[in-house]
Amino acid sequence: MPSRPRIAVATVVGLLGFVAPIALSIQFAWNQSVAGAEAVGTRYAAEVVRRSEVAARQFGRAIKVLNHDNLPPCSPQEIELMRSLDLGSDYLQMVGRVSGNTLECSSLGTTTRIDIGPPTLTTEHGAQERLDFKYGPTGFGKVSLLTANGVAAAVDGNLLLDFDTGSDGARLALVVPSSHDHTRIIQSSGAFDPSWFNPIGRGESKSYLDGENIISHVRSRQLDIEAVSVIPSRLVYRRVRQFAVVFVPIGCLCGLGFAWAVMYISRSRGSLTGLLRAAARNNSFFVEYQPVVEIATRRVVGAEALVRWRRGDTVISPASFIGLAEESGVITEITRIVIENVARDLPRLLEISPDFRVAINFTATDLKHEATAKRLMELVQRSGGSARNIVVEATEHGLVSGVECSRMISVLRLEGFRVAIDDFGTGYSSLSCLQGIDLDLLKIDKAFVDTIGTDGVTRGVVLHIIEIARSLQLTMVAEGIETEQQARFLLERGVEYGQGWLFGKPMSIENLTKMARETESAQPLVPA
């Protein structure tokens, strides 16, 4: 990519990389705070339900005891018993006998009959409740009066709702979900919006952020009651601030680190591209040749030209710069240099064998570049050879990258150049792509040759590749042969040519020429 757009992209990615961790840390702080506040609200509502269930159990026990005491109703002995039940219960303020809408007597010692009026609601178990019941001028204030099976008990709702909620500003309410308007039994303080009384399933709980408040519901499994807690969302903001103090600086650090890394990589890639261009100008690229042998005889019949980059005392492998060279467009310059080197060296090889073949690697960019065909023709003319002496090597990616590539391949084949598919099987389109392209050779990648003689799961693939090449009548060259066992295996399966450290590593033109001469009249190792 040219440097200006690359810097723009790097700046955008760097900025995103800076902002994203901060935004994520704030989002994380918010989520944590909302979840924390919801948990607090649910805890409050659950406590109200728990207390209500204890009160209900205490009322149930009072009914049981009084209805089995066999004492004369409202006798001094029974009133004494009522008193002990009253004192022994945390949440019952009074226990008494009731008949219809009349309280006959109570644990407070009264035997005067008191009209308690009609019930506010009747629960599904048949118990009746009179809300906001005002009991006597000397008694306590407003209570809920529960009556069932001739027994009455007063429950002070404040006892159910009154516990320490710290500075959370929580409001609590207890409702009867089955009543048609979800009748409120009692509430602690402040007004309750009717929309907050939202019945849920038995034994369930629910908590959510509703604008200004965190609303939490907990419904009893056994009783027809549901507790609601309402906490102002300022608690959330307070928690967000607490979390943000920790997480936002971490997010900032991550963001800065990421942005720095993006800029650093982009600048170093930018400078690497500059170095590649400079290397192309300064003749720092040179070519080594790896011999291609006839496996049966070990005769050197050709070679692959492999580029190298000399930087000071070190020689850099193409694997580490070809990708960037292609990305930055420097590859066309590198390919031109390789072609020039081959044009200079080929005559020495043709002297040994007029059929000698030199393979040159081409990328998709080269195959789209119009000058490539022209340069190859010039190479042939200058070296005194023919197009048959040159093998155009391209990977699957190069061969299927658009119509320009296919057109270039057709033109080159018409001119007589041989075309090889390199690293076959390591790409993504394999067989389907092969059927659509005119090819002469298939190079079996080292990755598959390596599996020969092993028990790896892919060891059978090499046989399939050989089968494919044979069915398409392609000449096969196996790459990366390092052992005699591999060479024998391939030869036995009809692979004629090979390349690899077993025969020779990439070498200078002088060494290649020497090796080609030495093997010129080589005979099969194992006579047929």
Among 423, 425, 452, 487, binds Mg ion (CB under 5 A): 423
| Subset of residues 387 to 406 that bind Mg ion, contact rule: CB under 5 A | 393
Q: What is the DSSP string of 62-74?
A: HHHHHHTS-PPTT
Q: What is the DSSP string of 127-162?
A: -EEEEEEE--SSS-SEEEEEEETTEEEEE-HHHHH-
Should residue 361 be labelled a site residue for Mg ion when binding is judged by CB under 5 A? yes
506 binds, among ligand C2E, Mg ion, none (CB under 5 to 8 A by kind): ligand C2E
Q: What is the DSSP letter of 316?
A: E
Should residue 119 be labelled a site residue for ligand C2E when binding is judged by CB under 6 A? no
Neighbours of 162 (CB within 10 A): 13
Among 47, 288, 396, 422, binds Mg ion (CB under 5 A): 422
Among candidate residues 503, 101, 483, the one with its CA nearest the CA of residue 294: 503
Q: How big, in percent rounded to 5, are the helix, strand and coil portions of the chain? A: 45, 25, 30
The CA distance from 330 to 318, in Å, is: 13
Alpha carbon 496 to its chain centroid, in Å, reads: 47
Among 501, 518, 520, 524, binds ligand C2E (CB under 6 A): 501
Among 137, 138, 166, 319, binds ligand C2E (CB under 6 A): 319
Q: Which two tokens stand for residue 388?
A: 């048959």
Comparing CB distances to ligand C2E, the nearer of 333 and 378 is 333
Contacts of 148 (CB under 8 A, 6+ apart): 59, 63, 125, 126, 127, 128
Contacts of 168 (CB under 8 A, 6+ apart): 40, 231, 235
Comparing CB distances to ligand C2E, the nearer of 397 and 413 is 397
Interaction mask 272-301, ligand C2E, x per CB under 6 A: ------------------x-----------
Comparing CB distances to ligand C2E, the nearer of 155 and 358 is 358
> How big is the chain by its Cα radius of gyration, in Å?
45
Should residue 307 be labelled a site residue for ligand C2E when binding is judged by CB under 6 A? yes
Size of the site for ligand C2E (CB under 6 A): 21
Q: How far is the CB of 242 from ligand C2E (least distance, A)?
A: 56
Q: Which two tokens stand for residue 504?
A: 């020779």
Backbone conformation region of residue 169, classed left if phi is above 0, alpha if psi is from -120 to 50, else beta = left
Comparing CB distances to ligand C2E, the nearer of 243 and 417 is 417
The CA distance from 326 to 319, in Å, is: 12
Cα–Cα distances in angstroms (integers) from residue 3 to residues 10, 36, 77, 333, 364, in the given order: 10, 49, 101, 18, 21
Stretch of 172-180, 211-219, 345-353, 495-503 lying at the interface with ligand C2E (CB under 6 A): 495-503
The CA distance from 216 to 223, in Å, is: 18
Should residue 264 be labelled a site residue for ligand C2E when binding is judged by CB under 6 A? no
Stretch of 205-213, 241-249, 312-320, 406-414 lying at the interface with ligand C2E (CB under 6 A): 312-320
Q: How far is the CB of 444 from Mg ion (least distance, A)?
A: 9
Stretch of 57-65, 227-235, 359-367, 516-524 lying at the interface with Mg ion (CB under 5 A): 359-367
317 binds, among Mg ion, ligand C2E, none (CB under 5 to 8 A by kind): ligand C2E
Q: Which two tokens stand for residue 250?
A: 């971490």
Q: How far is the CB of 479 from Mg ion (least distance, A)?
A: 5
For residue 517, the one-letter residue type is R
The CA distance from 156 to 141, in Å, is: 9
Should residue 322 be labelled a site residue for ligand C2E when binding is judged by CB under 6 A? yes
Among 341, 500, 513, 516, binds ligand C2E (CB under 6 A): 500
The CA distance from 518 to 510, in Å, is: 12
Among 506, 513, 515, 519, binds ligand C2E (CB under 6 A): 506
Interaction mask 460-489, ligand C2E, x per CB under 6 A: -------------------xxxx-------
Backbone conformation region of residue 70, classed left if phi is above 0, alpha if psi is from -120 to 50, else beta = left
Comparing CB distances to Mg ion, the nearer of 273 and 361 is 361
Should residue 363 be labelled a site residue for ligand C2E when binding is judged by CB under 6 A? yes
Comparing CB distances to ligand C2E, the nearer of 208 and 501 is 501
Among 60, 232, 318, 427, binds ligand C2E (CB under 6 A): 318
Which positions touch ligand C2E (CB under 6 A)? 290, 306-307, 317-319, 322, 338, 361, 363, 422-423, 446, 479-482, 499-501, 506
Which positions touch Mg ion (CB under 5 A)? 361, 393, 422-423, 479
